[in-house]
């Protein structure tokens, strides 16, 4: 686990690197640790490589080069040979296991600074290795962990000795005079992440509050999670070398030496077991609205057909029409949400079934639900009341009312009482964004109430 401040490279820092001397000294120790392990390949994940919201990019080709010219040091330049066989093996396993990762979509083949800063120190101590370079993504932490597991599996298949280097800074909001200012989440994140990483309690990485991570403006969390996945089921000797926050950005360095197997450290399996139990408990208390959504999703994902409509549904569902939103979650993470503002089908039953299929297969923010995810999913169904025109945001209540914003033929909707949406201003701003309406454009407002079924 290493940071990547360009400042730490003397040709960039020009003496300024002295303020993070402790980090420099730890970097040298980390490089010596890698030298002593003598890996065939270094797998390195960087938050500054090609990044997508829904795809984990793996750098293709046989080699790449880069320099630190954008930081005023073009003379810091080197080439890296890629381990094409291992990269291809990772991509093949990812495709087979339906993990959205691979060679597609490279925008810039040059080495980024999140890669070059670690290599700057490593190459001073050890050069007899090839490289596999990964990006991070906006997809779930669980999928990042699974990619790490795939890296380990592919390495074992090929007989590679591999060191994983997780490049990433910590919070960027640690000091008022830092480049990103201060937020109380900054030191809270740094304290927590160094406690977790310093002791090798990788399972806790999967349970960090995403609001804390966002507010802290962390950089490396997903990089660390991929590394944790690569060490899944392994006993490790964890060593925290240093943590500094003198520049307003957190820099942490830890090393992990594999000492054997340890089945108690299969952290993703443990988390999935917890979520299966939670989902089963929720399922036991579902009402007919939610049960129908679940039945529809599970039947469609498994068999690509619609289920038979249960004969004992309440009349409220079979005889009434209404706009309906179907929402899927895995743990605290949204997994799909699609709905209709007003009824477009003959009954709430048909509305639920159609929107359930859309939520699990056509939400543009997510890949379609996989069969192995079905036991993890919890559902909610919102039945919308009639929308009413309002004159201003003063008539809204973020907990009670949903909002519809309209400008011409552009219309955006946001449901009420959503996690992370605490003010009317936030609610309206998100609805505008969903509709592609700028924050300074005029809109007409409507509000509506919902009956939420769990």
In a domain, 57, yes or no: yes
Pairing of strands 41-45, 130-134: parallel
Summarised one tens digit per residue, pLDDT across range 162-208 is: 999 999 999 999 999 988 999 999 999 999 999 999 999 999 999 99
In a domain, 147, yes or no: yes
Task: Give the pLDDT score at 419.
Answer: 83
Is 1 part of any domain? no
Rounded Cα gap, residues 185 and 310, in angstroms: 49
412 occurs within a structural domain: yes
Domain limit, last residue, from 360, 377, 394 = 377
Residues 214 and 97 in one domain: yes
Pair 371, 428: CB distance under 8 Å? no
- What 3-state class would DSSP assign to 338? strand
What are the φ/ψ torsions at residue 423 (nearest 5 degrees)? -130, 160
CA distance 88 to 337: 34
**Together in a domain, 197 and 322:** no
Domain co-membership, 166 together with 296: no
Assess whether 24 and 113 both reside in one domain: yes
Cβ contact 251:244 at 8 Å: yes
Whether residues 338 and 389 fall in one domain: no
* 223 neighbors 197 (Cβ within 8 angstroms): no
382: pLDDT strictly greater than 90: yes
> 295 and 423 share a domain?
no
pLDDT in tens, 246-261: 999 999 999 999 999 9
Same domain, 328 and 189: no
- Residue 290 placed within a domain: yes
Task: Report yes or no on 278 lying in a domain.
Answer: yes
pLDDT band at 145 (very low <50, low <70, confident <90, very high): very high
Q: CA-CA distance, 22 to 173, in Å (whole number)?
A: 20
Within a domain: 238: yes
* pLDDT given for residue 258 in this prediction: 97
Q: Do residues 120 and 198 both lie within one domain?
A: yes
- For residue 284, the model assigns a pLDDT of 94
Q: For the CA atoms of 273, 277, 278, 282, what is the dihedral angle to 10 degrees?
A: 150
**Alpha-carbon gap, residue 29 to 50, rounded angstroms:** 29
Strand partners, 134: 45, 58
Instruction: Output the six-digit token pair for 271.
Output: 């988390």
Same domain assignment for residues 228 and 356: no
Q: How does pLDDT run across 267-325, given as a tens digit for each residue?
A: 999 999 999 999 999 999 999 999 999 999 999 999 999 999 999 999 999 999 999 99
Residue 292, pLDDT score: 98
* Domain end point (choices 344, 377, 410): 377
What's the CA angle centered on 343, arms 338 and 344, to 5 degrees? 85
Band the pLDDT of 332: cuts 50, 70, 90: confident
Residue 315 is part of a domain; what is its CATH number? 3.30.700.20
CATH code for the domain of 250: 3.40.830.10
Residues 80 and 195 in one domain: yes
- Last residue of some domain: 377, 400, 434? 377
Could you tell me the pLDDT band of residue 365, with boundaries at 50, 70 and 90? confident
Owning domain of residue 371: 273-377
Q: Is 306 exposed, middle or buried (0-12, 13-18, 19+ CB in 10 A)?
A: middle
CATH of the domain at 411: 3.30.1490.150
pLDDT at 420 over 90: no
299 phi, psi to nearest 5 deg = -65, -45
Share of the chain above pLDDT 70, in %: 100
For residues 418 and 352, membership in a common domain is answered with no
* Nearest CA among 227, 241, 238, 235 for reference residue 258: 235
pLDDT in the model for residue 333: 87
Tally of domains within the chain? 3
Cβ-based neighbour number of residue 248 at 10 Å:
18
Let me know if residue 248 belongs to a domain.
Answer: yes
Does 183 lie in the same domain as 304? no
Mean per-residue pLDDT over the chain, rounded:
96
3-class DSSP state for residue 248?
A: coil
pLDDT at 175: 95
């Amino acid at each position: 686990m290493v940071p990547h401040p360009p400042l730490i490279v003397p040709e960039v820092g020009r003496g300024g690197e002295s303020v993070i001397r402790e980090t420099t000294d730890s970097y040298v120790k980390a490089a010596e640790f890698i030298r002593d392990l003598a890996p065939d390949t270094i797998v390195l994940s960087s938050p500054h490589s090609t990044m997508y919201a829904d795809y984990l990019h793996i750098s293709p080709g046989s080699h790449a080069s880069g320099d630190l010219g954008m930081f005023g040091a073009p003379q810091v330049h080197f080439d890296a040979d890629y381990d094409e066989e291992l990269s291809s093996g990772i991509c093949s396993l990812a495709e087979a296991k339906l993990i959205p990762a691979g060679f597609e979509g490279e925008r810039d083949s040059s080495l980024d600074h999140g890669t070059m800063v670690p290599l700057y120190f490593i190459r001073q101590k050890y050069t007899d290795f090839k490289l596999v370079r990964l990006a991070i993504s906006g997809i779930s932490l669980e999928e990042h962990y699974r990619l790490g597991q795939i890296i380990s599996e592919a390495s074992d298949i090929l007989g590679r000795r591999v060191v994983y280097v997780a490049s990433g800074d910590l919070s960027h909001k640690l000091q008022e005079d830092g480049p990103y200012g201060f937020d109380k989440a900054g030191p809270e994140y740094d304290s927590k992440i160094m406690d977790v990483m310093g002791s090798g309690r990788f399972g806790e990485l999967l349970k960090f509050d995403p609001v804390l991570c966002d507010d802290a403006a962390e950089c490396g969390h997903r990089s660390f999670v991929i590394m944790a996945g690569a060490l899944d089921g392994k006993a490790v000797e964890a060593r925290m070398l240093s943590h500094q926050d003198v520049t307003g950005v957190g820099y942490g360095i830890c090393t992990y030496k594999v000492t054997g197997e340890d089945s108690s450290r299969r952290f993703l399996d443990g988390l999935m077991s917890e979520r299966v139990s939670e989902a089963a408990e929720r399922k036991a208390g579902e009402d007919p609205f939610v049960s129908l959504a679940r039945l529809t999703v599970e039947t469609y994902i498994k068999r690509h057909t619609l289920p038979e409509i249960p004969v004992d549904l309440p009349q409220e569902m079979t005889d009434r029409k209404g706009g309906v939103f179907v929402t899927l979650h895995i743990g605290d993470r949204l997994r799909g949400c699609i709905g209709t503002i007003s009824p477009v089908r003959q009954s709430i039953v048909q509305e639920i079934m159609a929107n359930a299929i859309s939520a699990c297969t056509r939400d543009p923010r997510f890949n379609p639900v996989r069969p192995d995810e079905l036991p993890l999913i919890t559902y909610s169904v919102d039945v919308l009341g009639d929308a009413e025109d309002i004159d201003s945001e003063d008539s809204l209540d973020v907990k009670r009312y949903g909002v519809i914003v309209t400008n011409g033929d552009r219309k955006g909707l946001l449901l009420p009482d959503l996690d992370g949406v605490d003010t009317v201003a936030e609610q309206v701003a998100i609805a505008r964004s969903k509709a592609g309406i700028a924050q300074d454009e005029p809109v007409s407002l409507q509000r509506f109430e919902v009956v939420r079924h769990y």
